[in-house]
Chains A and B, each alone.
Chain A
Amino acid sequence: MTDSKYFTTTKKGEIFELKAELNSDKKEKKKEAVKKVIASMTVGKDVSALFPDVVNCMQTDNLELKKLVYLYLMNYAKSQPDMAIMAVNTFVKDCEDPNPLIRALAVRTMGCIRVDKITEYLCEPLRKCLKDEDPYVRKTAAVCVAKLHDINAQLVEDQGFLDTLKDLISDSNPMVSHCHPPWDVSLSFLFAPLERMDPSICEQVTPRLSHANSAVVLSAVKVLMKFMEMLSKDLDYYGTLLKKLAPPLVTLLSAEPELQYVALRNINLIVQKRPEILKHEMKVFFVKYNDPIYVKLEKLDIMIRLASQANIAQVLAELKEYATEVDVDFVRKAVRAIGRCAIKVEQSAERCVSTLLDLIQTKVNYVVQEAIVVIKDIFRKYPNKYESVIATLCENLDSLDEPEARAAMIWIVGEYAERIDNADELLESFLEGFHDESTQVQLQLLTAIVKLFLKKPTETQELVQQVLSLATQDSDNPDLRDRGYIYWRLLSTDPVAAKEVVLAEKPLISEETDLIEPTLLDELICYIGTLASVYHKPPSAFVEGGRGVVHKSLPPRTASNESTESPETAPAGAPPGEQPDVIPAQGDLLGDLLNLDLGPPVSGPPLATSSVQMGAVDLLGGGLDSLIGGTNFVAPPTASVPANLGAPIGSGLSDLFDLTSGVGTLSGSYVAPRAVWLPAMKAKGLEISGTFTRQVGSISMDLQLTNKALQVMTDFAIQFNRNSFSLAPTAPLQVHAPLSPNQTVEISLPLSTVGSVMKMEPLNNLQVAVKNNIDVFYFSTLYPLHILFVEDGKMDRQMFLATWKDIPNENEAQFQIRDCPLNAEAASSKLQSSNIFTIAKRNVEGQDMLYQSLKLTNGIWVLAELRIQPGNPSCTVRLSLKCRAPEVSQHVYQAYETILKN
């Protein structure tokens, strides 16, 4: 006999007993039995076998018993449809019962039994109940229509139930017309005026800020947040609204922890959008000792976001206290928070560092480790300022057992190797257990030792050899191997370049590390008071099927006083023809911008041809010997090296370039087909057509000269007028042989961007003079802007976020690119080959959003958000561009269009 059989028998016994009780004559006993059945049902026992017996109890005039039976039916009818049919007659009969409670009960239950067969029987009673004299029955019937609609929408329409429902909306009894009042708080009546930007809504909404129901309060907050988006910050009214928002938010924090948490998640969004609302309320976010941990962590996060010079002392004192509490998770977060304060509020950095040092002195393992991790960040934000603490950090080297802390410490040692006497010993000590370390630590160790070597080459050759061979030969981690090879090749070919690359100045880390992307934040603000605001994700990310999801965004900011300083910047998206015709002389706003960052030419050494071998040749000049002395540098073993080791030495470097600047630059930017620039008629028989190319960092003008005259042409020369982006030829126009009639010659003219600047109209206009033995001819042409997109135009993610936020909204320009059937992948790779780099990709409600950056030769950054809707039949791609020099947007958009469509 098996176990299962054993169990069945017992169950049978129990069910048998219940069966007997259900069929008892005594009402009380029946009632008790049904209650028992329901209790068993709740704990998950299968009591479906009792279906007929329970249904038998239905025929009773005892309301309580009837309700119990209905309860049972609702649960099992679905799994026992045939049985449920047995009960239908009773349902129909009950719908006519003199007792309204029973009528409502029957109609409600029938709706819940999701069995198709029942729906046929349902319609007639339902129709009657919708017109019942009792409001309770009418209300229940109305909900039943909704249930039926979900089962069979067609049926509902055919039967005309929708019209009956419409009648009910104007029902005289509020119970019916308004059947779920307080919970369905949508404040929807308020949104109509909002769309009309009607200030009167504020008067309607503000009283709701002190409503007892927090759902109402949050809805009101949301409406006001949206409204403020349209207000200028200079208005007094703006300030008044700010003041009104704080108290209700604070009040929410005195609720139960669950509500508090949800409120805090919302406040976190609000604080990121408008920190000024709560800037004086720091105290309410102080952590209470008995707060649940999730409330504590959320409060901590908000404290940091509110931290400013004014309150930093208070915040730090709190954080220091938190760092000594018991809960490990919380303590760690508190220590991190101190680091974030240091990075956010410069004036406090010193105090933060000394607080962290105090904490390190406690020698509590996890505190020390967290402290070291954040001190690393502080070093990156304020280089060469707090290095005096390195000695203290080094004392704690041995106690670090978490990868993140070890990696941070190794980074510090490598970065400041020249100031740490025994840096080599320290790093060597890590090297012993190299293969037991996590990848993070291994990578960091590799880099740190290379740094050390570049700083102290004489003493550390052995060490660097050791780490390189550990990384490349003994490791099966591709990341580590690749990085090892890169360093190895770099060091063996060109230590000077290696130094430039490895010891390059690092970008400072941005202020806030975990800001929500601005566009997402704006969207989330629209979802305040919903689940989206708790998850900090747009609803499309978690609502299945996207049912009823409408993409929301904040209303566009109206032009306020702050944006009118320069009339020139305003019409960013306007077609160039509408711009004033007068071109200001050099030195105007744009000229200034264009002159920015003219430093070293990014395009690399000018070369007439473009082949893979170029680029590195010149860089290899000298320096190798001076650095390494006489040492033989062993090249990495050929066997395991990627194939292109055999290629000229330079390829190693261009490989490296490739890795840092993204893939595909070698193939070069998109090249437009040649166009006729100078027709023969205008130039006494000389026809010039051409196009612009950009390959591996060098721009050239590819010209085709055709002699359509009857005489030979000689003595060619070319000159450019000053132009917006300082384009100038770097070599003379060399036509080697005289050009005979009907002969055509093709020339590639290398260009640089170090000429002088003059703003042209349109911006990308280039005026060219060509001379030959016959005459001088002038023509002008428009060059596509993407030839100016440089190879290192990939912005750091954080930087991107910060910059996007920083550039005022007036500088944003929106465009549409029609008939572009590309998907995100294809678009991204197409754009990348023209040096438009995708930094992040996100899917929002079925649309792919690409966040991209590009940099012009004069250092102007352009940030882009490309929205692609794969399923969209019109194949329209939406592009929004942000740039500090909005004049370029139009041309960048044209470049986008050209690249994407070809």
Chain B
Amino acid sequence: MISQFFILSSKGDPLIYKDFRGDSGGRDVAELFYRKLTGLPGDESPVVMHHEGRHFIHIRHSGLYLVVTTSENVSPFGLLELLSRLSTLLGDYCGSLGEGTISRNVALVYELLDEVLDYGYVQTTSTEMLRNFIQTEAVVSKPFSLFDLSSVGLFGAETQQSKVAPSSAASRPVLSSRSDQSQKNEVFLDVVERLSVLLASNGSLLKVDVQGEIRLKSFLPSGSEMRIGLTEEFCVGKSELRGYGPGIRVDEVSFHSSVNLDEFESHRILRLQPPQGELTVMRYQLSDDLPSPLPFRLFPSVQWDRGSGRLQVYLKLRCDLPLKSQALNVRLHLPLPRGVISLSQELSSPEQKAELAEGALRWDLPRVQGGSQLSGLFQMDVPRTPGPPSHGLSTSAPPLGLGPASLSFELPRHTCSGLQVRFLRLSFRPCGNANPHKWVRHLSHSDAYVIRI
């Protein structure tokens, strides 16, 4: 049972505050939460906190704190799932979730909360069901503004291929205003994979896993049927064999409960009648066996002169993507020993940039073509550690605090598992003129791509 729900901005200001049961402390609680959160010692977790018989459970989403309080020994999983569902709902109804959209739509958010939770009991969280009750219309921000960076989200982001949807296209509320007939019928389908890799300093692969999901955001009327065709060689589990090649193999797959799998076994087709709004159609994961080579290899070499404190790091980055593919927004982050101040650099191409930021080296490579190799030579001065000077003057043993290097990047039009959407077919026939727009996109990005030095 939930006592209160509130949303705080990243600075701790209450944007939304709702007390369901009137049994606890009033609105000071929100402040209390923020104080407790910020005053927490480094090794304690903020996720579930306890104060005088009241429990705070929160998630952070788009810079906001979504918090529920309860005074009972409930399931934190349930509450966390509820919170993340709420964040999706708010996104659906307000366009996107953010400080601006929430404060513009206070009344709408309260209305939603009233329907989702009554007296602290969850009533429904289905976008579809809620449509019947919600009266307030979302206030949408200006269509697109360079300053509105928070709207550059997953759907229709800059990395779109040839046909680019405007980046704000997907960040609008699902509920079209009843008057607005020009509303476009659009469907966005994303195959997104998160790649985590751990490479030992000798280059051997310690761990790799891919978390993938197929996400759909539909602006079509609810209940219109669609079929999603996946790569036919798609195999689930270690033993299944399909097609003649090695197949596209994942370890585990789970589907949204509304997905009809009648044609999945035979043709790898998912059928569904999605409600309006966002929906994760399918999740899958894959570990250890990646069908394609890792996108990046890093060859570091470190020279450290303990005597003078001169540290020289030479990094060679090889991109093993297919020649036609490219990686975008590649950033290498290399923590440096404490106290490093100066940095001199020689980079292999002019569009790269490297700088010191928060005790780490940040090397930005806006665009890396498949098959290419880039390098950077960095020299730094490390303040000498107290204690007797070491005997071996120059050594390749890295000083403490150096590394591990981590890479972040996006790989448009690339899935690490190899999974592709073959087609997206809609049975929906609009009464009006325009055919619905379909946007299908494949994207991989790094989750934790770590190379030890």
Contacts and interface: CB of A to CB of B under 8 A. Distances in A.
A290 B76 contact: no
Contacts of A35: 106-107
B448 A290 contact: yes
A326 B44 contact: no
A293 B73 contact: no
Nearest to A538: B73
Contact of A289 (B60, B84, B404): B404
A506 to B, nearest CB: 30
B439 to A, nearest CB: 25
A259 interface: yes
A38 B17 CA distance: 11
Given A254-B211, A325-B335, A530 B448 contact: no
B336 to A, nearest CB: 9
B118 A531 contact: no
Contact of A293 (B42, B118, B196, B398): B42
Contacts of B44: 294
Given A42-B14, A262-B77, A283-B207, A364 B448 contact: no
Contact of A326 (B50, B78, B359): B359
Contact of B76 (A112, A180, A182, A262): A262
B43 A333 contact: yes
B107 A399 contact: no
B82 A534 contact: no
Nearest to B55: A531
Contacts of A535: 48, 50
Contacts of B59: 256, 258
Interface stretch (A61-69, A341-349, A451-459, A798-806): A61-69
Nearest to B23: A150
B406 A531 contact: no
B204 to A, nearest CB: 11
Nearest to A318: B206
A215 B75 contact: yes
A150 B135 CA distance: 30
A365 B14 CA distance: 42
Nearest to B335: A326
Nearest to B45: A294
Interface stretch (A426-434, A543-551, A634-642): A543-551
B107 A68 contact: yes
B53 A139 contact: no
A39 B103 contact: yes
A213 interface: yes
Contacts of B198: 286, 288
A185 B107 contact: no
B16 A42 contact: yes
Nearest to B22: A114
Contacts of B123: 139, 143, 179-180
Given A212-B257, A326-B401, A542-B55, A286 B16 contact: no
Which residue of B50, B118, B209, B385 has the most chain A CB atoms within 10 A of its CB atom?
B118
B115 to A, nearest CB: 9
B254 A210 contact: yes
A693 to B, nearest CB: 50
A549 B111 contact: no
B110 A293 contact: no
B262 interface: no
B447 interface: yes
B400 A367 contact: yes
Interface string A274-292: 0000000001001011110
Contacts of B207: 283, 286
A43 B106 CA distance: 11
A112 B119 CA distance: 8
A143 B107 contact: no
B118 A215 contact: no
B386 interface: yes
Given A78-B22, A321-B452, A363-B387, A67 B106 contact: no
Contact of A185 (B48, B73, B78, B387): B78
Contacts of A286: 198, 206-207
A580 B20 CA distance: 65
Contact of B78 (A39, A43, A183, A542): A183
B177 to A, nearest CB: 12
A443 B274 CA distance: 70
B254 A143 contact: no
B122 interface: yes
A71 interface: yes
A254 B72 contact: no
A290 B405 CA distance: 11
A162 interface: no
Contact of A363 (B22, B386, B447): B386
Interface in A324-339: 324-326, 329, 333
B229 interface: no
A111 interface: yes
B357 interface: no
Contacts of B103: 39
A797 interface: no
Contacts of B452: 321
Contacts of A147: 119
Nearest to B109: A42
A530 B75 contact: yes
A539 interface: yes
Interface string A39-81: 1001110000000000000000001100110010000001000
B136 interface: yes
A183 B70 CA distance: 14
B42 A329 contact: yes
A593 to B, nearest CB: 43
Nearest to A252: B77
A38 B110 contact: yes
A645 interface: no
A690 to B, nearest CB: 56
A542 B53 contact: yes
Contact of B43 (A39, A184, A293): A293
Contacts of B447: 288, 290
Interface in A140-191: 140, 143, 146-147, 150, 179-180, 182-185
B249 to A, nearest CB: 17
Contact of A261 (B47, B106, B111): B47
B444 interface: no
Contacts of B399: 362
Contacts of A701: none
B77 A215 contact: yes
Given A183-B78, A258-B47, A101 B22 contact: no
A837 interface: no
A329 B43 contact: yes
A252 B207 CA distance: 18
Contacts of A321: 404, 452
Contacts of A289: 404, 406, 448, 450
Contacts of A38: 106-107, 110
A314 to B, nearest CB: 9
B425 interface: no
20 contacts: A43-B13, A43-B14, A143-B121, A183-B81, A212-B256, A214-B81, A256-B59, A256-B84, A259-B80, A262-B47, A324-B398, A324-B400, A329-B43, A362-B400, A363-B385, A365-B386, A399-B387, A530-B73, A530-B75, A543-B72
Given A42-B14, A290-B406, A542-B50, 18 more contacts: A34-B107, A68-B107, A146-B119, A184-B78, A184-B121, A185-B78, A213-B81, A289-B448, A290-B447, A294-B45, A294-B47, A297-B43, A363-B385, A363-B386, A363-B387, A531-B55, A531-B76, A539-B73
Interface of B: 13-17, 21-22, 27, 42-48, 50, 53, 55, 58-60, 71-78, 80-82, 84, 103, 106-107, 110-111, 114, 118-119, 121-123, 125, 132-133, 135-136, 196, 198, 206-207, 209, 211, 252, 254, 256-257, 285, 335, 359-360, 385-388, 398-404, 406, 447-448, 450, 452
What are the 9 tightest A-B residue pairs by CB atom distance, in nearest-first order?
A: A294-B45, A544-B53, A215-B77, A64-B135, A215-B78, A183-B122, A539-B73, A363-B387, A288-B448
